[in-house]
Amino acid sequence: MKNLYIILTYTGTVISKMIKGYTKDEYCHCSIALDEELNQMYSFGRLKPYTPLLAGFVQENIHEGTFKRFYNTKAKIYSMQVTDEQYEKVKNMIERFKKNKSKYKFNMIGLCSAGFNIKIHPKNYFYCAEFVKYILDKAEIETGLPKVVKPEHFKKVESLKEIYTGLLRNYKVDKKDSLKLKINNTYKNKEEVTVV
């Protein structure tokens, strides 16, 4: 078994304030990460920190780019346990996006229509929550998310375990706890194999 990470954020940008003003949601952006340190974190968002209109597939970093510019970004971080096979599917899907990033565009129309609970999804166009849901669906990870998805919907996914709430820049991985969790998971998996 391995863990994936879902990150909900609110940067306080003009666009995020507009979205929050309309939806009243706590978080306006959603990302997926392959590692606990969030070094491999991906989403659809602005490509340049100072240019909100240029958006697409992005690899995000807590201490660089948009999150560095918007220093007081609020975050809620979840872990999700998945099988090794599901993890590899997610990883391979993300690699495909990375290799073909120029063909993927930001789904601005879909983002706006989501506010009215209407799904508009042109081929190769995604907004953040739509992208994360797409990746999880393709890896056959059951989430129960609605067809028209918003970042706030991830709070209701039963398989997600909240591991952090606070300023994104203050997020740090406790290496001892992380190692303990990995050992426990390994031991648990061995127990399961023995029982079977």
- CATH number of the domain that 85 lies in? 3.90.1720
Q: Using one digit for the tens of pLDDT, what is the confidence trace for 44-63?
A: 999 998 887 899 999 999 99
Q: Using one digit for the tens of pLDDT, what is the confidence trace for 154-171?
A: 999 999 999 999 999 999
Mean per-residue pLDDT, 90-106: 97
User: Structural domain tally of the chain?
Assistant: 1
| Tokens encoding 117 | 């609970």
pTM score, whole prediction:
0.87
Q: How far is CA 185 from CA 45, 68, 175, 181, in A?
A: 34, 34, 15, 6
pLDDT recorded at residue 177:
57
Q: Phi/psi at 13 (nearest 5 deg)?
A: -70, 170
Task: Give the domain range for residue 100.
Answer: 2-195
Q: Out of 57-66, 126-135, 176-185, pick the least confident.
A: 176-185
Residue 44, CB-side half-sphere exposure with 13 Å CA sphere: 26
